[in-house]
Amino acid sequence: MNEQELTHEVTARMATTPDDRIRFLMEALVRHLHSFACEVRLTEAEWLQGIRFLTETGQMCDATRQEFILLSDTLGLSSLVDIINHGNQNPEVTATTVLGPFYVPDSPRRAFGASMVEYEDGGRPAIVGGTVRSASGVPIPGAEIDVWQNAATGFYAVQVPDEQPATNLRGIYSTDHRGRYEIRTVRPVPYPIPADGPVGRSLAVTGRHPWRAAHIHAIVSAPGHVTLTTHIFDSASDYLDGDAVFGVSSALVRDFVPDPTGTLVCEHDFVLDVAGG
């Protein structure tokens, strides 16, 4: 049996898969895996090292750390999937980007304008606000904005549970009758993605840095509209042109401008597409 015959044999055995989509995915996966191995003339030692790398990646995963999502992010796969699924969306709609590995569901609900700072980290106070509206320009009252970010120390609360309260710099806000939202927080800072595991080693051996540009995460939802997963990036941040996970879109970069009290103010509207539109 030669290389091509083996690939054909393996894909042929997928023919009995009852689900058409799973069969299509598995056949394509086998073809591309075999093609990769043939193209690079994969050695047995390299194959074994790859198996060890994937094993260690799985062993790094737990309830608060998803090393496989981190791997997907650093390979650009997460951003590619985002482009495939949202790249043809209405250009009036806010750009999407990656979820990231530190999202935690069930954040506390916070009142309009309330602070989500529960830990004194020396961060510069900031207010983020704007309007949630549809692509037609109509404000959306009662929309939900699920936000999370890192502290001025560079860490998300989930990364340092013995240091930060679990709900620090996390919250779910709702828009008012005008479709407005307001969040009190601190200015986000650039931070390195976790580099103490296999993903960090893969960055090092390819001569890449682990840094992400400063940003605030948001998942924005409203009845009758497509849920949006996105970021707000700080225009003054380093790494906007070299984000480790390829997550920066110029359309999401905003200024943080000091008001008369010295508090930074960032104005950012979220524009949602109509479901089924």
Q: Are 73 and 245 in contact (CB under 8 A)?
A: yes
Alpha carbon dihedral 104, 105, 106, 107, in 10-degree steps, equals 40
CATH number given to 74-272: 2.60.130.10
pLDDT band at residue 146 under the 50/70/90 scheme: very high
Q: What is the pLDDT of residues 100-127, one digit of tens each?
A: 888 999 999 999 999 999 999 999 999 9
Write phi, then psi, for 26 (nearest 5 degrees): -70, -40
> Which pLDDT value is given to residue 209?
97
Q: What is the pLDDT of residues 58-110, one digit of tens each?
A: 999 988 788 999 999 999 999 999 999 988 778 899 999 999 888 999 999 99
The residue-averaged pLDDT of 120-144 equals: 96
Q: What is the pLDDT of residues 263-275, one digit of tens each?
A: 999 999 999 999 8
Per-residue b/e over 186-213, b at no fewer than 16 CB within 10 Å? bbbbbbebbbebbbbebbeeeeeebbbb
Share of the chain above pLDDT 90, in %: 91
Q: What's the chain's average pLDDT? A: 96
Residue 23 has pLDDT above 70, yes or no: yes
**Cα–Cα distance, 116 to 216 (Å, whole number):** 12
3-state helix, strand, coil in the chain (%, to 5): 30, 20, 50
Residue 277 has pLDDT above 70, yes or no: no
